[in-house]
Amino acid sequence: MTKLATISGLLLLGLTAPAFAGNDVTQDRREVRQDRREIRHDTREVRSDRREVRADLRAGDRREARQDTRELKRDQRERRGDRRDLRQDRRDLRHDRRDR
């Protein structure tokens, strides 16, 4: 009876393996879309922060400009991290497609 159970289990695993492999590609695609969305959002924030810094400097408000510059640098760092994640997710997707 144990041999039959072992063979049945292996057969079941062999049949479901392609389904699990497809999930990797689907998950990687989802992550790529999410990373692109985050990059677009961060890009909008960077543009807004740049406008605020320029407006503050024109108005002569250096303290506010310094604070906005800190926000700008934080948003740029976040965008760089999102771009790094996107590159990694694209690489994962390429490898998953190749391994099919």
Give the pLDDT confidence score for residue 15 in this predicted structure. Answer: 55
Query: Does the pLDDT value for residue 14 go beyond 80?
Result: no
Give the pLDDT confidence score for residue 17 in this predicted structure. Answer: 53
pLDDT tier, 96 (very low <50, low <70, confident <90, very high otherwise): confident
What mean pLDDT is reported for the chain? 85
pLDDT tier, 24 (very low <50, low <70, confident <90, very high otherwise): confident
Q: Three-state DSSP class for 60?
A: coil
Domain ranges of the chain: 2-99
CA distances from 93 to 17, 19, 27, 31, 80 (A): 18, 16, 9, 10, 20
**What per-residue string of b and e applies to 57-79 under the rule 16 or more CB within 10 Å gives b?**
eeeeeeeebeebbeebeebbebb
